[in-house]
Structures are given as C-alpha cells and as structure tokens.
Structure 1
Amino acid sequence: MTATLMESGAVVERADVARPTFAAVLRAEWVKLRTVRSTWWTLVATFVLGAGLTTLICWGNADWLASPEADESPGSFITWGMMIAQITAVVLGALVVTTEYGTGMIRTTFAAVPARGRVLAAKSLLVVALLGVVGTVTAFVGYAGGNYFLDREGIGMSMSGDVLRSMYGSGLYLAGIGLFTIAVGFLLRHTAGTISIVLALMLILGNMVNLIPGAFGEWVTKLMPGNAGSPISTPVSFNPNLFDAWTGFAVFCLEIAVLLVAAYVVVKRRDA
C-alpha cells in the first residue's frame, strides 16, 4: 500500500509505515521497565516490607494472640505486612507512567506508537504481572515466617481456605493497586501528585470516612478503593463491616476499570 504526498509540486509515493504491533510495544515497554533500577528497588522493597513486617508483627504479637485477652484473630496478622507493601506498589505504578512525562520521553513513545492505547495496555499488563507474582511470593514467605511464631504458641494457621485465598489474593490486590495507580498517573502526569493522591485514597481517606455517621457513612467506607480491595489479601479483616473478599475485590476492579477508561480517553485526546 502506498501514500501519495505533494513535495515541491511533484507527486511522491512512499510505502506506508506499519504501526508497531502490541507485541512490539510490550517488548519495548519491558526493556524500559527492566533497565530502570527503580523498578527492582521497589520490588525488593515490596518483598522486604511485606514478608519482613508480617514475620515481625507475628513474632511481637504471638504471645498476646494466644492469650485470653486477645480481641483479634491471628488471621488478621498473617498478611499484615502487605498493608505496608502496598505503598511500594503505588510507587512502582506511578513511576512507570509519570517518569516519562517528567523527562519528556512520553512524546517519543507516542510518536513511535501512534495507537496510544497500546502503550497504556502494555504498561498495565507488565505492572500487573510483576506485582501479581511478587505480591503472591511475598505473601507466602511472610506466612512461612509469621506462622512459625504463631505455631509455637499453638495458634498456627493451616495453608487452606481463607488463608490460601489471602496468599494469591495479596498478589491480586497489589496488581490492582498498580493498575489503579497507572490510571491515575496517566490522568495527572505528575509523580508526587499521583503517589500522594493514591496513598491518601488507600490509607488515609479510607479510614477517615468511618467518621461519617449512619448508613451513608458505612457505604462510603465500603466503597473506598483500599477498603473494597484489601479484604481479598487477608484471611480475617480488621474491619468486619467491609465487603467480603470477592465482592469487595469485584467493586475494586470496577473502580479500576472506570479509571482506566478515563485514562484512555484523556491519553487519546490530550497532547503529550
């Protein structure tokens, strides 16, 4: 196929330049992602915080959890570190997008890939895969370390039922957080703003809305992204008034989908 151009009054024909396939875009995004040190530092931090803090918190609370005075379940602690590890998942999701906007490289990316939706999809797929795998592995290692101390007190938890679900649920939740942050990153195009807003939604506003009285306050609390998504990553939630694990995660996925659609529309229409 050829395209006709007018150049100095003459008609010039050239072959159309083929647009990169999604596989090519995915490879290019993977090269960018794996060659940046911040990617690996955030993944290491995710593992250390998630597994390390779970082990530490179980070690420090095993005696109390085994005592008659305990008013919490050991299941609330067996993935405790993942609550902190979500911070690094937010950082990774933000950096994957906003670093290119900060350096201006996003213009080069969009010039090479006119179908901008492919860039959004490729970045999203890679972050979901990385955080899903790292989150799941981290949860299993944290369980092994934390359950060792719980088991010494006779309150160990078997790897079945809700405990097993929380292991791969931790990977799903971190992957969802990364995807949520990518969408916000494309909307804001600013690293600090993206990280601040997502962390505020996940960790601060989700708790503050508990102060809203009545049934309206209860529903707002349930619908906050962190409150909706986090029950999938723990056998027993600290807040029994939230959605159950799979219902909450479905709500979280719907919220992510809305943000991704908004990000896609903005990326298609707005100049880089």
Structure 2
Amino acid sequence: MTTLTAPTTPPGPAGTPVPYRPAGTADVLRAEWAKLRSVRSTAWTLAALVVVSVGLTGLVTWAIADELASGEAGELPAMFVTWGITFGQIAALVLGTLVITSEYASGTIRPSLAAVPRRMRLLGAKVAVLAAVMLVLGLAVSFASYAVGDFFLSREGVGVPLSDDGVLRALVGNALYLSVLAVFGLGLGLVLRHTAAAVTVGIALVFVVGQLVTLLPGTVGEWVAKLMPGNAGSAVTTVVPWDPDQLGPWTGFGVFALETALLVALGAVLLARRDA
C-alpha cells in the first residue's frame, strides 16, 4: 500500500518555498477597511445615520420655523440646525459595537487573530478605520443637516449663518463626537462581546443614565451628570448649549475622549488575556 506524505515545501515555481511575509500595518488597515465596507450591516447603519440625522433636522426646522420667527417657541434658531443628529448618534454607537461583536458572533475573530497575531495591531487598525470613516461621514452629515435646517429657517427670516459664533464649531464637533462615539461602542463591544448587551449599555450610559444622575443630591449629582459620557461629549455638538451648567464644548469633548480611551484600553487588556 502506498503511503501519502505531505510535501516538505509549499508548491511554487520549480518547487521553491513561497516566502512568508507577516502582515504589516498597511495590510491590516486595508483588511479592516475591506471588512467594514463588505458587511451588509455597515451600509444599513450608515444609511440610517444619514436619513435620521438629516431627515429629522429638516422635519423639526420645517415644523418650528414659524414659531421661532415669531418668538413663540422661546428658543434660538441655532439650537435646531443639527437637531436630528442627536438621534443619528445611536447608529454610530451601534456601528462601533458591530465592528467587533459581529466577529465574535460569527467566529471570524479567530482567523483575524491568526492572520494578525499581534492583537494590539489588529485593534489599532479597527479603531483607526472606524474613526476615520465616521469622521468623514460625520462631516458630510453635519453640513447636510445644517444646509437642510438652515433652508427652512431662512425662509422665515431666521437663518443661521456659518459665520455666527459657534456654528462651525458645532458642525465639526458633531463629526468628532460621532467618530469618538463609534469608538466608544467598539470599546463596549470588546468588553462585553455581545451586540445586544453592548448596545443596551451604550444607549443607557449615553442617553439615559446621564439624566438620572441629576437626581443625586447636591454638587455630587451635578458633577457626576457633567462627567457622564453623553453629557460631556455632546457639549461640542450644539451651537447653543441646552444645559448651561454642562462642561464647556472642548472641555467636555476632552473628557469624553479620555473616557473612551480608558474603555478601549480596558477592552485591549481583555483582548490580550482572553481566548478568542
């Protein structure tokens, strides 16, 4: 009986071994970009972000423009030119979570780690690609929301010029906030490894708990509320703050960025220690 033996060298020209080249940073970035754009959930999530953000901004400014013009609303028009992005933020959080939890759910995290044994390089590439995509899309969404909102406001004579104080900062701030918020979702996904759990915790921390902690007595409640991720980070997204007691725009964004960095660092430690 003939015994089959494995070849000692991989097939190649003239039987020469195929040289092995470990994946470099550029290779990992290209792979993460390919994974992000090839997943169906990415397209749907980003489409939801655009439609909700721009659509709701247009809807609310169309509905309230006459009241703002007459003064009946009791609010400044500048508070509404990016109003819909507040709800679009959920899509950014969900996308960031799916970037990592979908790999754990499908089991593709194992071949990813086999291809890139240096786990911090893989994580860094995921963060970089996600943040860059959300920053570019965030800028587009911010300016589109502003254009739609200002169109309806200008028809009633209460338009908000870009040159007004805080307008350009808010538009750029929305893009930055969406980018970091997506990375925040990725950090939660790293820690929890479950899409539903990470999304639920993220929505609670960003949109719910920040309001509940104001019930804490005295200055403790005030400061905890200021430092909650959603309250701190969103300060940079509005032309006029909804809450005058919150942190300043860039101070609050800095706090949120630091909180996100700490969360991702915790996720990185768990990624290094836990099995895939």
Q: CA deviation at 1:129?
A: 1.0
Aligned residue type for 2:24: T
**1:229 maps to what in 2?**
233
Counterpart contact for 2:81–2:149, Cα < 8 Å: yes
Q: Does 1:126 align with 2:112?
A: no
- CA distance in 2 between counterparts of 1:74 and 1:121 reads 40
Which residue, out of 166, 169, 179, partners 1:165? 169
Answer yes or no: is 1:109 the counterpart of 2:112. Answer: yes
* 1:266 alignment partner in structure 2: 270
Letter in 2 for 1:154: G
Tell me what 1:252 maps to. Answer: 256
Using the TM superposition, give the Cα deviation of residue 145 of structure 1 relative to its aligned residue in structure 2, in angstroms: 0.9
**For residues 75 and 35 of structure 1, what CA distance do their matches in structure 2 show?**
38
Residue 66 in structure 1 maps to residue 61 in structure 2 = no
How many pairs are equivalent? Answer: 259
CA contact (8 A) 1:78 1:147 kept: yes
Where in structure 1 are there 5+ consecutive unaligned residues?
Answer: 1-13
Aligned residue runs from structure 1 range 3-152, under 5 A: 18-152=21-155
RMSD of equivalent CA atoms: 1.5
Query: Which structure shows the bigger proportion of residues in strand conformation?
Result: 1
Give the Cα–Cα distance (whole angstroms) in 2 for the partners of residues 76 and 211 of structure 1: 25
1:175 aligned onto 2:173: no
Question: Hey, what does 1:192 align to over in structure 2?
Answer: 196
- Contact 1:19 1:114 survives alignment (8 Å): no
User: What is the letter of the counterpart of residue 152 of structure 1?
Assistant: R
Q: Contact 2:64 / 2:73 at 8 angstroms: preserved in 1? A: no
Change (3 A) 1:220 1:165: same
Q: CA deviation at 1:16?
A: 9.5
- The Cα shift of 1:17 comes to 5.2
Q: Distance in 1 between matches of 2:136 and 2:86?
A: 17
Q: Counterpart of 1:258 in structure 2: which amino acid?
A: L
CA-to-aligned-CA distance 1:61-100 (integer Å, 9 cap, x gap)? 1122222333222122111111000010011101110001
Partner residue, 1:220: 224
SS of match in other structure, 1:91: helix
Give the whole-Å Cα distance in 1 for the aligned partners of 2:73 and 2:98. 41
CA deviation string 1:131-187 (max 9, x = no partner)? 111111111111111111111222111112311111111110000100111111111
* Contact 2:191/2:270 (8 A) holds in 1: yes
Compare 79-88 and 151-160 and name the one that shifted more: 151-160
Distance 1:75 1:231 in 2: 14
Conservation of the 8 A alpha-carbon contact between 1:46 and 1:135 = no
Provide Cα deviations, 1:10-42, integer angstroms capped at 9, x if missing partner: xxxx99954311111111111111111111111
Q: Is the deviation greater in 60-69 or in 74-83?
A: 60-69
SS of match in other structure, 2:70: coil
Could you tell me which amino acid in structure 2 is paired with residue 167 of structure 1? L
